[in-house]
Amino acid sequence: MHNVDPADLKTAAGAGVRLVGVSKAFRGTLAIDDISLNIEPGSFVSLLGPSGSGKTTTLNMIAGFVTPDAGQLLFDDKPITDIPPHKRNIGMVFQSYALFPHMTVFDNVAYPLRMRTKLRKDELGERVREALQLVRLSGFEDRYPRQLSGGQQQRVSMARALVGRPRLLLMDEPLGALDKKLRDELQVEIKEIHRKLGSTFIYVTHDQTEALTMSDAVVVMRNAQVAQFGSPREVYEEPENTFVASFLGNANLLPAKVVAADGQGQTVRLSNGAALTLPSGGRRTFIAGSDVMLLLRPEDLALAAPGTADSATLNGTLHEMLFFGDSYKLIVDIGSDTLMLWASPREIADLSVGAPVRVAWDAGRAGLLPAGE
Ligand SMILES: Nc1ncnc2c1ncn2[C@@H]1O[C@H](COP(=O)(O)OP(=O)(O)OP(=O)(O)O)[C@@H](O)[C@H]1O
């Protein structure tokens, strides 16, 4: 294989990025442990995981700021490890906007082009205005960063990252310093920009909602490794382990034992003695006798009408109810385990803490995961 010519990276389409068995240790501690990933050209991929799981190190390796100890990094199937960061034609956006305070918006955005290219003045102006238009900041050219809100400053740093028309944009918690309302707005705008440009976006976040709403694919990271890589629906609806299940959204995870498994489905017994049967389907199957965790998402549970008693309900006691405006969050004790679910104020009627309740569950949407992962 030959090394890629940096000029190859200047075409318009998004870059495909591949990590093959990449590892990196800092002073003997593994920050990245044998990671392999295939990021499709033009896709929007989030790296999601708790603090210290290796997200930023992965991003910095793709940017070229961190050199892997082992493994290979490829752009469009060509090794890139020896190409220095400034020749990779990558845009970068950080949580701290990293703007030059003494430069106007125009000069901040023009900076990377002035450093890297010899564009004519009118071409440069055109490119800067185009980038500012993309982030909805036309007319702000002469302002200084201190004259802008946090959200506007982050837009400037996005324009600066995009002005060189990179095939790959790396973002490290770009919305982390902004309040929720602004974050919600900018999430939509970043998605729109991605759709317009067709570049590959790699986005680091520890906010699971952000990862699920924005991405084509999510890399869930844990302890320097990839816990799961899949579409937002796959990682949410078919988590491969209890870590992914509980990191993404709310998960009721109940210890259970498989007591029967055949072509019809799998029957599990919970610690309170209740037996539940999950129909066979595409989900993982376990042999009878296996210890498992039963995954029931709150949205697949509902209060059952009083008096109903069948295999699709669980008996419990209302332990807590919290008012959220449009709904109540309910905590229900079922033996030594608890369930969390949502109910509308209408369903609550005159329920009170301590009352016996029945919870209906959707067998078709429940999942089984290996215990102890
Ligand atoms: N330059 C460095 N020197 C020493 N250790 C480092 C360095 N950079 C990262 N690490 C360590 O590598 C591990 C992974 O860090 P990394 O910053 O990639 O995690 P992260 O998932 O991005 O976390 P956060 O969400 O807190 O930014 C951590 O244990 C961290 O302390």
The DSSP-derived string for 1-60 is --PPPGGGGGSSSPPPEEEEEEEEEETTEEEEEEEEEEEPTT-EEEEE-STTSSHHHHHH
At 85 the pLDDT is 84
At 141 the pLDDT is 95
At 111 the pLDDT is 93
Distance CA(168)–CA(285), nearest Å, equals: 39
Kindly give the distance from the C-alpha atom of residue 22 to the centroid of ligand 1, in angstroms, as a whole number.
15
Residue to mutate (ligand 1; options 57, 65, 173, 207; most atoms within 8 A of CB) = 57
Q: Is the pLDDT of residue 26 over 60?
A: yes
Kindly give the distance from the C-alpha atom of residue 57 to the centroid of ligand 1, in angstroms, as a whole number.
6
Cβ of residue 56 lying under 6 Å from some atom of ligand 1:
yes
Q: What percent of the chain has pLDDT over 70?
A: 94
Q: What is the pLDDT of residues 139-166, one digit of tens each?
A: 999 999 999 999 999 999 999 999 988 9
Q: What is the pLDDT of residues 95-114, one digit of tens each?
A: 888 899 999 999 999 999 88
Residues 48-71 as b/e (b if ≥16 CB within 10 A, e otherwise) read bbeeebbbbbbbbbbbbebebeeb
At 63 the pLDDT is 93
At 285 the pLDDT is 83
Q: How confident is the model at residue 11 (pLDDT cuts 50, 70, 90)?
A: very low
**Residue of higher predicted confidence among 370 and 284:** 370
Kindly give the distance from the C-alpha atom of residue 58 to the centroid of ligand 1, in angstroms, as a whole number.
10
Residue to mutate (ligand 1; options 30, 46, 56; most atoms within 8 A of CB) = 56
Residue 59 alpha carbon, nearest atom of ligand 1? 18
Residue to mutate (ligand 1; options 48, 53, 205, 219; most atoms within 8 A of CB) = 53
Phi-psi region of 228 (alpha: psi -120 to 50; beta: other; left: phi over 0): beta
Q: Is the pLDDT of residue 10 over 60?
A: no
Kindly give the distance from the C-alpha atom of residue 20 to the centroid of ligand 1, in angstroms, as a whole number.
20
Q: How confident is the model at residue 4 (pLDDT cuts 50, 70, 90)?
A: very low
Q: What is the pLDDT of residues 332-348, one digit of tens each?
A: 999 889 999 999 998 88
**Residue of higher predicted confidence among 7 and 41:** 41
Distance CA(321)–CA(343), nearest Å, equals: 9
Cβ of residue 31 lying under 6 Å from some atom of ligand 1:
yes
| Residue indicated by tokens 């800067």 | 128
pTM: 0.88
Residue 58 alpha carbon, nearest atom of ligand 1? 18
At 9 the pLDDT is 37
Of 353, 38, 46, whose CA–CA distance to 209 is shortest? 46
Kindly give the distance from the C-alpha atom of residue 249 to the centroid of ligand 1, in angstroms, as a whole number.
24
At 170 the pLDDT is 96
Residue 221 alpha carbon, nearest atom of ligand 1? 21
At 308 the pLDDT is 60
Helix (H), strand (E) at residue 172: strand 168-172
Listed ranges 45-49, 111-115, 187-191; the one with the highest mean pLDDT: 45-49
Q: How confident is the model at residue 116 (pLDDT cuts 50, 70, 90)?
A: confident
Any idea which of 10-14, 153-157, 217-221, 235-239 has the lowest mean pLDDT? 10-14
| Residue indicated by tokens 């909602």 | 209
Residue 56 alpha carbon, nearest atom of ligand 1? 22
Q: What ipTM, to 2 d.p.?
A: 0.94
